[in-house]
A and B are shown apart, each in its own frame.
Chain A
Amino acid sequence: MTRFLLPLAVFVVLVGFLLVGLGLNPRQVPSPLVGKPAPEFQLQQLHEPEKTLTSKENLGKVWLLNVWASWCVSCRQEHPVLVELSKSGIVPVYGLNYKDQRDDALRWLQQFGDPYAVSAVDPEGRTGIEFGVYGVPETYVIDKNGVIRYKQIGPVTVEALQNKILPLVRELQG
C-alpha cells in the first residue's frame, strides 16, 4: 500500500507547491522600505518649477505618493481611480513625475485630469532609486511620522484601494 501512497503524497505536495507558485507574481518584490522613514527629498514642482516640494512638508498628515509618468501605459489605467480618490478628499495624493518631460507631463494631466495636490519632478529617476522604484506606477502610503506603511506595486485598482489602501489610511489617520 505504501508503495502507491508515498509517491502519491510526494506528487500532491509537488502540485501544491506549483499551484502556490502559479498564484505568485514574481514582479512584486516586497519593499524593504515598508516600516522605514520615507527617504528625504527636495524636488522641483511640475506646475511651478520655481517652487519645490520637500518630504518634510507633509509631516503630520497621512499622504500618498504616486509615482507616474506620461509614457507609462498602466498609469492611464489607474488614473481615473486616483482622480476619484482625490475628489473624495479622504487623503491627499502627491505625484512623483518620474523620468518624464515637463511638457508631456503637463499635457497628460490636462488630458486625463490632475489628481495631485502637488507633483514633484524627478527627471533622472534619482529620488526614484531612493524610494526603491523599479517600475511605474508605484504608490506609497506614508503616515504622519513620515514612515512608509505600504507600497502598491503596479496600478492602484479599485480593489486595492478599498481592501488595502483606504482601510490603512483610516487607521493611520486615527
Chain B
Amino acid sequence: MRLKLLSRSSLTACGSGKNDKGSRIGNPRSALEGMRANEGGFALLKTALLLCLLLLAPFAGAKEAAPVAEDPEIERRMVALSEDLRCLVCQNETIAASRADFANDLRREIREQMQANKSDKEIVDFLVARYGDFVLYRPPMKSTTLFLWFGPFIFLLAGAVFLVFYLKRRRKHIEEPALSEQQLKQAEALLKEGKG
C-alpha cells in the first residue's frame, strides 16, 4: 500500500527535470554547420570564431532564462515567499526550489495573486486553507503544535535535571577515602624524596 501510494502520480517528478529547459543555449550545431559551409579554410579565423561563440554561449543562456513574470519585483517577492513554503510533492524542498510540476503551479498561483495586489499574508492564508499547515516551513503556534515548539526545550530541561542529579550522586560515590596515619607518612616521605 505504501509503495503504491508513493508512486501515485507523475506530479512526483522531483528533480526529474520535467520542466528543465534542456536546450537553453540554443542549437550550437547549426552554427558550426554554417561555418563548415564556408570553404575559405582560414583555420585560425575559424578557431577564433568558435572561441567567440563559446564565450558568448553563457550570455545567450542567461538572456533566455529571464524571469517569467514581467515584473521583477513580483518575481522577487514570489521567490522570497515560496522559500518559506513546502512543496507537498517533494516534501523536503521549498516551493521555490522544487522542480515538481505542482510547485510550478503554486508559483504561478502566487505570482498571479501578487499581481492582483494580494498581500503575502493573504496568499499564505489561501494556501493554508487548501493544503493545511503542512505547507508552511514555520508552523504556527497552536494547541496541536505546542509540543513541536516546546518539546525540544522540555527534553533539554529533563536532560539538565538528570545531569544535576547524576553529578550529585556521583560526587557521593567517589568521595575521597580518608588516608590512614601510616599512608600519610608514606606520602610525605615520597614527597621529600622527590624534592631532594
Contacts and interface: CB of A to CB of B under 8 A. Distances in A.
A25 B5 contact: yes
A74 B8 contact: yes
Contact of B5 (A128, A134, A153): A153
Which of B128, B129, B133 lies at the interface centre, i.e. has the most chain A CB atoms within 10 A of its CB?
A: B129
A29 B131 contact: yes
B99 to A, nearest CB: 15
Interface in B1-52: 1-2, 4-12
Contact of A135 (B102, B109, B130): B102
A25 B5 CA distance: 9
B132 interface: yes
A69 B105 CA distance: 16
B59 interface: no
A115 interface: no
A27 B7 contact: no
B134 A135 contact: no
Contact of A129 (B91, B106, B134): B106
Contact of B11 (A25, A77, A134): A134
A68 to B, nearest CB: 10
B83 interface: no
Contact of B6 (A27, A71, A129): A27
Interface in A112-166: 124-126, 128-132, 134-137, 153-155, 157
Contact of A132 (B6, B8, B11, B131): B131
Contacts of A74: 4, 7-9
B5 A28 contact: yes
A96 to B, nearest CB: 14
B101 interface: yes
Contacts of A136: 8-11
B4 A155 contact: yes
Interface string B43-67: 0000000000000000000000000
Interface of A: 25-33, 69, 71-74, 77, 99, 124-126, 128-132, 134-137, 153-155, 157
For the complex of A and B, 10 pairs with smallest distance between CB atoms: A132-B130, A135-B9, A134-B88, A74-B8, A154-B5, A32-B132, A136-B9, A154-B8, A29-B134, A135-B11
Interface of B: 1-2, 4-12, 88-89, 91, 101-102, 105-106, 109, 128-134
Given A136-B8, A136-B10, 12 more contacts: A25-B5, A28-B5, A29-B131, A29-B132, A32-B129, A33-B130, A71-B10, A74-B4, A77-B4, A129-B130, A131-B130, A154-B4
